[in-house]
Structures are given as C-alpha cells and as structure tokens.
Chains A and B, each alone.
Chain A
Amino acid sequence: MLSYILSRLVALLASLAVASVVIFVMIEMVPGDPAAFMLGLNAAPDTVAALRAELGLGGSPVERYLRWVTGMVQGDFGISYTYQVPVAELVAARLMVSLPLAVMALLLSTLIALPVGLYAASRRGRAGDWSVMGITQLGIAIPNFWFAMILVVIFAIQLRWFSAGGFPGWDAGVLACLKALILPAVALALPQASILARVMRSAVLEVLDQDYIRTARAKGLSHRRTLTDHAFRNALIPVLTIIGLQFSFLIAGAIIIENVFFLPGLGRLVFQGITQRDLIVVESVVMLLVFAVILVNFMVDIAYGIADPRLRRQ
C-alpha cells in the first residue's frame, strides 16, 4: 500500500510541475505590459521600469518561472496589480467562500446520489427505477446556473426564504453563511447528483451480473443483503472515479454559480482579474484550481487502493 501511495504521489507532483509550466507559458503569451497598464498611458518609462522590478517582472522567463514557483511553495503568490495587496490574502479570503460551497455541493450530491442509484438498481425495470431514471435524465439536462436562477425566483423572490445573493462573511456567524450557500450548493449539486445516481445504478447492475453475486445468493444471503454487503462496495469503485472526474465539473460550475449569487469567491476574483488584466491573480487562481483537481484525483486514487485490494500490490 505504501509503495502504491508513493507512486501516486510522484504522479501528483509531476502533474503539478507540468501544469504550472503550461499556465506560466500561457500567461507569458499575454500581450501588453501589466506595469504600463497599471500606471496608465502617461507614465514615465523609468517609473514603469521601477514598477516592473517591484512586481517581479524582470529577468529571463526561466528566472521568473522559478521565482513564481518557489514563491508559491512558500505561500507567496505575489502582489495583485490592481488591489496592491498580496494575492495570497485575496485568494485566502475568497477560498473561504468557494471551498465550503464546493464541499457542500459534493457532499450533497454524493449523499443524494448513492442511495438513489442503489434504490433504482434494486427496483430494476419497475416504477421506482423508471421514475429515478426519468428525473435524473432531466436533472442532467438542466444547466446549473439556469437552475440557480429559477431557485432564486422561487425561494428568494417569491417565498423570501433566502436572500437572492451576496455573502455575509464568516464574522456574521456560521449559520448565516451556510444559509447563504444553500441555494448555490443545491443548484450545483442537482446535475452532479443526477449523473452520479445514474452511474451508481449502472455500476450496481453491472456488479449484480457478476458470478460472485450468485455465489453470495447460494450462500443464503437475501437479495437485499447481497445488494448492501456485496454489490454496494464493489460498485463504489467505478463510482469513485466518477466522483473524482466530477470535481472538475464542480469547480467550473462553482465559478459560474458564484456569478448568479454574487458570491465573493474565486470565480468572481478570476473574472475581475481578467477584465482588469490583473494577470498574477488569474495565474494564481488558475493554478490553485488545477491543484485542487489534481489533489482530489490523488485522493480518489488512494481511496481506490483502499476499496480495491487488487490495486495495492502492483
């Protein structure tokens, strides 16, 4: 198991290294000089040069890349061009919104999807199965940001149970914050849960076709017990993969959803960064998002190793 984790860890670091190069090169391609942009059209050339040095824009690309990476490893993401504060501070504040949102959505979708998928599989071909399949089919087709807008109309504008957007900040209390995140999390979770429930259903059905299910039945396990004791755990293995892949969709979805609810998360930060050409912010946030995806997939790989003994000794 240890060598398995180590090999996955090496893969994780390699992906991070290559991803950082890709992001750096992309940002390097951006035309224009951020220093000149910040100081406006009438700035004196030597002022621009001074600012360039201050922003860490001097030196060869290789030097700049190494400075960027070593800085990030130490928690120094540079200074935002527009806000004139450390990017790390900006990101940390925004992360306090985006991260809870992503976690809530992931939990919500998993907690809904797995039992629903198992239920549908156990009712294969019957009314329960058909209704689950129908509802999830619709759930997959609904764009999450549109669903978010509809939720706002119903629960914020009509029923006034929730506010239509905004975030009170964690100083205002945990409950208030969680309440502000409920609608966005539901909007994010619905399509994910639909996909996951369908994956779970087909994974369970696939497992139910296996010989060892017949063995379990021949041992005297009831249909229900076979489902929970044998089919569920074996079906989790493909489902884990999908959860890992979904995280990538979740990140994309979260960035969009933050716009619907005017949440001060990473998504809003990165869009402001683009419009204000605050490239160092864009660069850092993108790197952070990619890091999150890679990290989650690493954790899925480890979970895989726990769930499937065949992988441990490879």
Chain B
Amino acid sequence: MSAPRLAIEGLSVRIGDMTVVDRITLSIGAGKVFGLAGESGSGKSMTALAAIGLLPQGAVRSGAARLDGNDLFGLDEAAMCGVRGRHIGMIFQEPMTALNPVRSIGDQVAETLVIHAGMHRQAARDVAADRLDRVGLPADRIGLDRYPHELSGGQRQRVMIAQAIALQPALLIADEPTTALDVTTQAGILDLLGGLVAEGDMSLLLITHDLAVLAGLSSSIAVMKDGRIVETGETETLFRHHSHAYTASLLAASNHRPQAVPLPDKADPLLRIEDLRLGYRGRGRLFRAAPLSEAVRGVSLSVDEGESVGLVGESGCGKSTLARAILGLEPPRGGSITLAGTAVTAGQMMPAHTRAAMQIVFQDPYGSFNPRHPVERLVAEPFHLLDDAPTRAEASRAVGAALEAVGLSPQDAGKYIHEFSGGQRQRIAIARALVIRPKLIILDEAVSALDVSIRAQILDLLAGLRREFGLAYLFISHDLGVVRAITERVLVMKDGAIVESGETERVLASPAHPYTAELVAASPQIPQEWVA
C-alpha cells in the first residue's frame, strides 16, 4: 500500500504551558474525505494550522506530519511557502472577511498561480477564470473584476475554494467551511467540495462541529475532545458502533429533544399579526428617488398563550426585522401587531406594560450584555418597564430568583459578564428575559452560537421554564433540527413572506411548499438507521 496522503503522528501543540493539541495521530488516504469533528476549543483548527505551519505566534508544535511521504515539519519557512497553496490548499470559516476587500476576485485567484507557477498576470487570470468557472462562478455571470463585497457569502466561499484548488493541490483543508452559511448555500458548497474530491485525486480534510455534515460526505471521521482524538473510524461504523462515551453524548446532544410540554386545553391568542409590512426607504441620491426595500411583505401570524412557534428562514428573509417589529422597535409600513389585546406601536409612544409582556434572547452570548455593568444590573434592566419600580431589595430578590430559575446561583449577581462562559451567558440572557415575567419570549437564534452539548442543556432549560411559567416562545432559527426539538408549530419564511405554516412535525416531514422541501433536503442529516 502506498503512503497515505497526509500522515500526522504524535502531533502536539502547546501555547505557553497549555496543551491545546495532545499527541494526535491520523492518516488521510489519497482521494478521500476525512472528517475531523469536535466542539469549540477541542483543538481541531489548531491541528490543521499546525499541519500547514501557520500556528499563531507563541504556539509550539511537536511530532511529525508527512504529505505523500515527505516530511513537512522539517521544512524551513521558505520551503513551506512552496507547499502552501501548491500542494496543500486551505479554506476558512468566515467568507466575509477571508478575502482581501480591495483586490478583485480574479486577481486573488490568479495570485496563487503567479507566486507558485511563475505565470504572468494575464495568463494567470485566464486560468483563474477557468477555476472560478469550475466552482460555479462562470466569468460571464461573475466577472473577474468583481470585488468581494459585491458577492454573497456563498459566492465568496466559492472564490476561496477556487484559489485553494487553483494549482490542484494534493490536499485541501477546509476549516468549518459552511458554518457561516445558510443551509441551502451550505448544501451547494458541500456538493462542490465532494465533487472536487470525486473527480480528481485530491484529498479533503474537513473540519466541522457538525457531525451531520460529515455523515453525508466523509469516508472516515476522527472525534476530538480537549486536544485529543477520542475515537476514529470509518464514518458509518463510527455512527453505528461508536465506543467512546463522548461520541455517544455528542450524537445524543445533536439529536436532543427536550421532554414535550403539555399545552393548555384552551389557550387565548397572545400575539396576532395581520398583513404586516416592514421596510425602509434607502437614502435618495442626487436626482434619484429613495429606493424602497421591503423586508417583510404582508405577514400574518398568531401565537397563543403558552405556545411555542418556530420561525424558520435563511439570512435576509426578514425574520429578524419581523422580530424587531414585534418588539416595537421598527415602525410598520402597514398592517397591525396586537399583543395581549393591545396594539404594538414603535417608539416611545408604546405603553410600558405592553412592552413588559415580551422579552428577547439574542444569538450572540458575548454582545448581549453591557460589559461595564454587574449581572444584577443587567438582569434588572427590564424593571424599567414597570410602572411602580420595585425597591432595591425586591429587585435584588427577583434577580436572584431568576438566576436560580435558569440554573445559576443568586451569588452570581455581583459578578461581571466576562466571568461567565458562553452557555452561562445565554442562561443570564434568559434570566433577564424572565425577570419581569413576560408572556412571550422571542428567541432569536438563541442557541445557534452554542456547542451541541450546551445547546441541549439550554433547550432543556427553555422547555422547563415554559412548563413552569406558561411562557409562549417565538423561536427564530435557521436550524430545522432545533425547531423540530422545541416548537409545536412552525412558520417558514422566504423573501419577506410566510410560504408555509403548520404543525412542526407535519411540515418538516411532508413539506407542501417547494421552498420548505428545499430547506429540508438541504439540512444535513445523519441517516436514521445509523443512529437507531
């Protein structure tokens, strides 16, 4: 048998006295897709950066890596520059920032050819046009002279791939290449990557937190935790007969569904939206009328008391604008929003008690809090909405109770937000939403930024709180799996309109609208029989 494409032996990476990668060994065959899975901080990205010699300053690696039998770690920096881009290509997670904003995409793809193959700029651009065509960006539609800011996230990721494969490298490393993308875009990129491997001899090292992505694409998988590979094997075997407890818990967490919450027999309508239109006028220019862009065009929906409703759609479909309008932060251009019988109006005119009936939890556990205020003040902020503000002692008691309800301790009230982990912060965000006992909580991608195991805990917490306090949720998400886990009803939104609605199970199992069907088909899934 010939040497594996990439062989990593006993690789360790240390930053200071911290070991972030601990003696890992793996090998990738030629023309194969190898999946490296793990939660954030497991060391999977560091492994890849170590392999191509781009570790951050201060990180030290040891062990060995060989590409087609040739030692990589023995090479000096100049020789390594000859390997990167030519023999090993790499693409990253953030397509929005990974391309140089001031250079055209043609030049950026051509750059790989210019520096390695010594081509002249024009010849390199011709080849670049071919590579861009191959990743689905034909020059007659997306010109070489376009700049990154003129492209969508998916298109930018395709440019990244084009420059990584420009010289047909032996190995392509993709570090969370689709995490920042919508599901339908993700499906396209994954198809492209799979196709590139299938049609040539290139190997792909695919790094992801999402086991479902690997299920459909990779031939083998290694699962990493705390810098070590805890389990490795052929994809199907690993899913069916995983032996390590961590793999089992990962799989369980990614399919986690909290215990169902019983609905009240008869529920009053809580939120009612009728024919809502939202949008804004852009800025007019000299001699030109201001363009009107409509983010939401004629949406009607209702949420009953105690009900959990999902709102699904891809970025830019208008779901976040809709959420802002419900919260009274966005003046509607038409239609009406009623919450518990009172009209929701944007701006200062809205009565405080109407506002007090709803709260929101955001996606980003880091940006959700003022870093200068202690947790007590953060959680107590909604008290501003009460007509008779609670006394200091009452407020402090209520904050303590809310913190306990979300599984934290009342003593945490004195700490500052940077002392908490991402999952804990999301609990604090829920406590803040809970503290004035609203009827409706809007969860805007509230678990999307969390690792699967933390996500499972938060989903359990949300279900429990609902049971305890009779809350209604409007759960906005791009993730069908999560929506399935926590909602009874789902609304599918596209281009500012709701294209399908109904019982979550029914809609996701047998979608009536083609877009819903596309979404369901694009969502990566672990085959049922593998995990059964």
Residues of chain A touching chain B, judged by Cβ–Cβ distance below 8 Å, are 3, 6-7, 10, 210-212, 214-223, 225, 229-230, 233-234, 237, 307-310, 313
Contact = CB atoms under 8 A, between A and B. Distances in A.
B101 A234 contact: yes
Given A212-B100, A218-B85, A234-B101, A3 B147 contact: no
Interface residues of B, number: 34
Contact of B286 (A10, A211, A309): A10
Contact of A225 (B90, B115, B164): B115
B517 interface: no
Given A215-B98, A215-B160, A220 B115 contact: yes
Nearest to A313: B150
B352 interface: no
A234 B160 contact: no
B149 A309 contact: yes
B98 A219 contact: no
Given A212-B101, A230-B100, 7 more contacts: A211-B98, A218-B85, A220-B84, A222-B81, A307-B102, A309-B102, A309-B149
B98 A212 contact: yes
A10 B164 CA distance: 44
Contact of A220 (B83, B94, B147): B83
A215 B160 CA distance: 8
A222 B285 contact: no
B102 A234 contact: yes
Given A308-B101, A309-B149, A218 B77 contact: no
A313 B90 CA distance: 31
Given A10-B286, A308-B102, A310-B147, A218 B115 contact: no
Interface in B10-54: 52, 54
Contacts of B99: 212, 215
Contacts of A3: 285-286
B63 interface: no
Contacts of A233: 102-103
B286 A6 contact: yes
Candidate in A7, A219, A222 with the most chain B CB atoms within 10 angstroms = A219
9 contacts: A3-B285, A3-B286, A214-B54, A215-B99, A218-B84, A218-B92, A221-B85, A233-B102, A310-B149
Contact of B85 (A220, A230, A309): A220
B116 interface: yes
Interface string B258-289: 00000000000000000000000000011000
Interface in B128-156: 147, 149-150
Contacts of B92: 211, 214-215, 218
Contact of B164 (A210, A218, A310): A218
Candidate in B54, B85, B150 with the most chain A CB atoms within 10 angstroms = B85
Contacts of B455: none
A306 to B, nearest CB: 10
Contacts, number: 84
Contact of A310 (B82, B94, B101): B101
Nearest to A231: B100
Candidate in A212, A216, A217, A218 with the most chain B CB atoms within 10 angstroms = A218
A-B interface, 10 closest residue pairs, ranked by CB to CB distance from nearest = A220-B85, A219-B85, A211-B97, A220-B84, A218-B90, A309-B147, A212-B100, A211-B98, A310-B149, A215-B98
Nearest to A218: B90
A7 B97 contact: no
B111 interface: yes
Contacts of A229: 111
A87 to B, nearest CB: 35
A220 B101 contact: no
A38 B147 CA distance: 63
A234 B286 contact: no
A6 to B, nearest CB: 7
A117 to B, nearest CB: 18
A219 B100 contact: no
Contacts of A221: 81, 85, 111, 115
B245 interface: no
Nearest to B52: A218
A234 B111 contact: no
Contacts of A7: 285-286
Contact of B84 (A212, A219, A310): A219
A212 B99 CA distance: 5
Candidate in B52, B86, B101, B102 with the most chain A CB atoms within 10 angstroms = B102
Contacts of B52: 218
A234 B100 contact: yes
Nearest to A309: B147
B102 A219 contact: no
A241 to B, nearest CB: 15
Contacts of B104: 309
Contacts of B112: 219-220
A307 B86 CA distance: 29
Contacts of A214: 54, 92, 98
Candidate in A10, A210, A211 with the most chain B CB atoms within 10 angstroms = A211
B218 interface: no
Contacts of B116: 220
Interface string B75-91: 00110011111100110
Nearest to A7: B286
Nearest to A308: B102
A216 B82 contact: no
A74 to B, nearest CB: 28
B220 interface: no
Nearest to A212: B100
Given A212-B98, A307-B102, A309-B101, A219 B111 contact: yes
A313 B146 CA distance: 12
Nearest to A236: B102
Interface string B414-458: 000000000000000000000000000000000000000000000
B203 to A, nearest CB: 16
A222 B78 contact: yes
Given A10-B286, A215-B98, A233-B102, A220 B54 contact: no
A310 to B, nearest CB: 5
Contacts of A237: 102
A1 to B, nearest CB: 13
A237 B164 CA distance: 27
A219 B115 contact: yes
A38 B286 CA distance: 49
B158 to A, nearest CB: 14
Contacts of A222: 77-78, 81
A10 B287 CA distance: 13
